[in-house]
A and B are shown apart, each in its own frame.
Chain A
Amino acid sequence: MLLTLTHAALRQHTPQDARRRNRRGWPAWVAMAVVFSGMTVLHAQQADEPPTIRLSPETIEMGSFYNGARIRIEGAAPTGSQVMVIVRGAAKDEVFNRKGRVGPIWINVDKVHVGGAPSLFLRFSSVDVHTILDRKTIDRYGLDELSVVERMHARTSRGEPDAQYRELIENSYIELKKKQGTYRRVADRVHLAERDGAAQYAVEFNWPKGAPPGSYNVEVYALRHGSVVGQTATVLRLVEVGFPAYMVALANEHPWKYGLLAVIAAVMAGFGIDAIASRLRPRKVAVPKVPVPAEAPAEAAKAAAAGKGDQVVRH
């Protein structure tokens, strides 16, 4: 289209079309303006190359004694821009009980099925995002929890919830996720330094121990003058290795064998501990029978009766 317009604009300069040019000269100026603005945009885009991204590590291996990990994300963004890093987990279907008031009491009144919201949402930025981006842009890119849950689908036992009920579900969902630590945002965590004609950024954080294995999308946004001027994304993998990986494969591929193994292991653990405990029990020391002296039969009988009575009470 740009070439066509340019060609049309050049054609206006030929002497054969002089009369025509005088009469219909304005389209040529418009076309030229379009050409120049197009070139300006192209130049601007060339200047704002998408941010680069490096993850360390790119894959987190979860062995038997896995205890979380330290993640470093770094790269370069267009000069003069602020940077925001978002880590999103895959969408997951979840079921919740909804508490409601029936008379004076609070009980489960509904089952709510929620899907389409990321299982994890971590946001780190060099500045408070809400101070430089408007609501529309935040919603467009899904840059905060509200915009994320707006995209989720919720279904109750009576079908689609109405607007008020949906708002309640969204707010409760965010609150629950924040409490679980899977939805988190931290401003001023991304460190910026202007170097080599670009804004070098870096962020380090502890990967949440409770995050399940899977693929997580790491997105980097360059923000300037109230808009997103560049974005890039990569994948961070969380994989189980060794014994945990073997157990998961067994549980999913041979569920009956896994179930049987679980039962046998549990029963053996129970009986095993009992066997160990019975061996550890101090053995009773055999008390030699003391012959009852003939001269004190009454006292001996009393003592025997007292011992017997105690045993009966403490059966």
Chain B
Amino acid sequence: MTQLAIFVLALATASILLPVAGLSINFGLLVSAGGIIGFLSGMLGVGGGFLMTPVLMMIGVPATIAAASDTTAIVATSASGMAAHFRLKNVDLRMGSVCLTGGLTGSAIGVQVIKVLRAVGNADLLITVMYIVVLGGVGTFIVRDSFKKLRRGALVAKPRARPSSGPGLLQRLPLQMEFARSGVRHSFLVPFSVCCMVGIMTAVMGVGGGFIMVPTMVYLLRMPAHVAVGTDLFQIMFTCIGATLMQASTNHTVDLVLALLIAAGSTVGAQIGARVSKRMRGEQLLMILGILALAVGVKMLVSILVAPGNALSPASGGGHAALRTDPALVLAQVREFVRSIGCF
């Protein structure tokens, strides 16, 4: 037992070389940072990129490598979290597929919106303000709503599955589908359009989407919070797989050792997070998510109001959101990939 403790201690204090980044970093630091982010990911269905990339940059990893490798780590984290949620019957594959399609379509539109914004000028200002308004708004709404529910009906059993409760028009839309796992019935067009809108927002704001997608699934698509978390992890995994392939082939910025070390911590964290989420009520989960969204929004607000210490900051290459920067580039990459593996 003592020998095992010594081994673990030695491993935790050892340094390891990150080959692509070309720098040496403490092993234990990376694994524990991954563990904390993974816990949040498994519990709340957020990708974790918004936290992990700045943490990696703080410990000396170059911005482009931090963003790209973090994306690869999110593949592992979301796969672990999704598998755990899948076993708990919290993943709606049908809804996840529709949302993934809608989200990617929205991203393609969002890229064009970004181009227009950049041409007009002051795109960064607009994006920052949008970030604060959306995160602050979503966070405040979720916290208030969850707080009310927690106070009002702590022990009242809520019907789990609810039909689409929109006006008659929505129910008369074509392509009606049953989403059994979520316990809702919608036209294909409803989740597709909603996720498309979220895709546009995430492309413009440059975030992975967990923050916006989970509340959207709960409040607009009326899915149970646990299923929303599991389903969101499902779509995050596929988005990040695409982004990893793109970053590895285009920018050569994926550091596999870094990604796997973060993943070693985050996958375990995601498992614990998923278990903890099962012991919590939906409202509690949403409240934590809301507080986190609010905290990030407030942090952004403070960062734009207070003068920065240095006028320059290293520009990152974008993480999983990079997939949403240029669909033409993505298509070109996919074509090159297909050619490279010799399909035709």
Contacts and interface: CB of A to CB of B under 8 A. Distances in A.
Interface of A: 62-68, 94-102, 104-109, 111-112, 168-169, 172-173, 175-176, 179-180, 209-213, 240, 243-245, 247-248, 251-252, 255-256, 258-263, 265-267, 269-271, 273-275, 277-278, 309, 312-315
Contacts of B313: 96-97, 99, 176
B248 A251 contact: yes
Q: Which range contains the number of B residues in contact with the other chain? A: 35 or more
- Nearest 10 Cβ contacts at the A-B interface: A270-B79, A259-B248, A212-B22, A244-B19, A274-B83, A273-B267, A270-B80, A266-B75, A312-B157, A247-B19
A210 B24 contact: yes
Contacts of B310: 172, 175-176, 179
Interface of B: 14-17, 19-25, 60, 72-73, 75-84, 87, 122, 124-125, 128, 155-157, 160, 224, 226, 237, 241, 244-250, 252, 254, 256-257, 259-260, 263-264, 267-268, 270-271, 279, 281, 303-308, 310-315, 336-337, 340-341
Given A66-B24, A175-B310, 8 more contacts: A65-B16, A66-B15, A212-B23, A258-B248, A259-B247, A259-B254, A270-B79, A271-B79
A106 B315 contact: no
- Counting chain B CB atoms within 10 Å of each CB, the highest count among A108, A112, A173, A274 belongs to A274
A108 B124 contact: yes
A99 B310 CA distance: 8
B271 to A, nearest CB: 4
B253 to A, nearest CB: 9
B107 to A, nearest CB: 19
18 contacts: A99-B312, A105-B128, A106-B303, A107-B128, A168-B311, A169-B312, A212-B21, A247-B256, A248-B20, A255-B249, A259-B247, A259-B254, A263-B245, A270-B79, A270-B81, A273-B268, A274-B87, A274-B271
B257 A106 contact: no
Contact of B15 (A65, A107, A247): A65
B251 to A, nearest CB: 9
B contact face: mostly helix, strand, loop, or mixed: helix
B9 to A, nearest CB: 15
Contacts of B279: 314
